[in-house]
Amino acid sequence: MNRKLKAGLGIAGFVLLIVAAVVAYNALRDRAPGDGAALTPEQSAADRQKAPDFMMTDSDGNTVKLSDLLANGKPVVLNFWASWCDPCKSEMPEFETVYKDLGNDVQFVMLNMTDGQRETTETAAAYVAKEGYTFPVFFDTERQAGAYAYGIRAIPTTFFIDQGGYIVSSWQSTLTEQTLRDRIDALWKT
C-alpha cells in the first residue's frame, strides 16, 4: 500500500507539473506589449504602454532625451547593443539597410550600452566607423535606459515605438531585415 501511495503521489505531482508548464507557456505566449508581442490595431489605448523617457548622449556629446526625438512626430526604433556583442554585430547590416531605406520616415536610435569598462563611447564609435554605418548612434553612458527604464536583460533588444510615444512591440534577439521591416510597418497601423 505504501508503494501504491508513493506512486500515486508521484503521478499526481507529475500531472501538476505538466499543468503548470502549460499555464506558463500560455502566459508567455500571450505576453504584453513591450515583452515581444505586437499590438493589433483593434487593441485600445488602455492596452498600450508609454515608452519610458530617458537621457542619452549623441555622437557629438550632446545630451538628448527620447521624448525630444519623439517630438518630431516619427515612430522610433530603439535598439540596445554593444560592440562586444556578436549577435548585435550580426544584425547591424540589417539595420543599416533599413535605415538607408526608411531613415527619413522613422527615427532610429541605436543605443549603445556604454558601461565605461567593457564598452566605452570610443570603442563603440570606432566599431561603427570601421563598419561604415550611417545610422544615428547614441550612448547610454549613465545606464538610465537599458538597466533602469527598459529593464534590458539581454542584448540585442529592440523596441518599436509609435508616433504617440507608445511601445507597439519589442524583440529580444537578432532581427532579420524582414522582421525589422514588418515591425516598422506595424508602427503605422496603431
**Per-residue cell: 72:** 518630431
Q: What was the pLDDT predicted at 4?
A: 75
Closest of 136, 125, 121, 128 to residue 72, by C-alpha: 136
Lowest mean pLDDT among 13-27, 64-78, 150-164: 13-27
Radius of gyration of the chain (CA): 21
Q: What is the pLDDT of residues 106-138, one digit of tens each?
A: 999 999 998 888 899 999 999 999 999 999 999
E strand or H helix that includes residue 20? helix 2-29
**Per-residue cell: 26:** 500560455
- What does pTM read for this prediction? 0.76
Mean pLDDT over each residue of the chain, to the nearest integer: 82
Q: What was the pLDDT predicted at 5?
A: 67
DSSP characters over 133-158: --S-EEE-TT-IIIIIIS---SSSEE
Q: Which amino acid is at 76?
A: V
Lowest mean pLDDT among 23-37, 45-59, 142-156: 23-37
Q: Which residues contact 26 (CB under 8 A, 6 or more apart)?
A: none
